[in-house]
Amino acid sequence: MQSVHIVSAYDEELKYLSKRIAAMGGHAERMVEQAISALVNSDPELARKVVEDDTVLDQGQREVDDKAILLIGKRQPMATDLREVIGVIRISADLERVGDLAKNVAKRVASVGDAVQPVSLYRGIEALSDLALTQLKEVLDVYASRSVATIGFVRDRDDQIDAMYTSLFRELLTYMMEDPRNITPCTHLLFCAKNIERIGDHATNIAETIYFIVTGDQMPVERPKGDKTDRIVMPIS
């Protein structure tokens, strides 16, 4: 009977950690949504809220880390069970970074200002963050269901995010070259776009961790990491 008791206590503790990850994921999604909304609508109040909200993820990561390490020491899990706990540590670190990136977007809201930017720019930022958020949501759904069979979708969406970020990068440089008054706000928007692209990368990291938890293997096919904007050079008109 005792071993049954131990196993079930272990399962309870693991379930608790998974729930904390799900809660952190939901919180991170909300922060990203609100940061973009604050940016697009020049809403400093909402931006401030996002900045304050980030402490929840910092504390969440700390708690999950501490509990996960205690759990390994106490229950000495093996194989899949051990991978589950290591996975929790990794995923909470990625979600904490997503929070940092959302916070960084929010902190730039005042510097972008309500200078009338072309509508297409904000549409581009929104479209990019929609893609990154969908990536994050679907990856967290896979974490809940553990159905890694279809996880290949993350690679395709990663490519879409990179392509959209690249076109936004070009567009922002163009506006900067048209009028020096655009340089400051567009530079901040460039960093916002970069942050959103990084959020997509963290979602992909989480997918890789889930694949590792379930299969014990690395996810096949190395994805070409990072963006492709490093080679963009704009012609001078």
Question: What are the tokens at 210?
Answer: 């889930």
Q: Which is nearer to a copy of itself, 110 or 127 (CB)?
A: 110
Q: Which is nearer to a copy of itself, 44 or 144 (CB)?
A: 44
Least Å from the CB of residue 130 to a copy of itself:
23
Least Å from the CB of residue 221 to a copy of itself:
14
Least Å from the CB of residue 76 to a copy of itself:
4
Q: Which is nearer to a copy of itself, 6 or 234 (CB)?
A: 234
Number of C-alpha atoms within 13 angstroms, CB side, residue 203? 35
Closest CA to 39 of 95, 114, 97: 114
Least Å from the CB of residue 72 to a copy of itself:
6
Closest CA to 212 of 163, 165, 162, 142: 142
Q: Which is nearer to a copy of itself, 59 or 150 (CB)?
A: 59
Q: Kindly list the residues in this chain that would bind a copy of itself in the complex (CB under 8 A).
A: 58, 62, 69, 72-73, 76-79, 82-83, 86, 89, 93, 100, 103-104, 107-108, 110-111, 113, 173, 176-177, 180-181, 183-184, 187-188, 190-191, 194, 218, 222, 225-226, 230-234, 236
Least Å from the CB of residue 21 to a copy of itself:
17
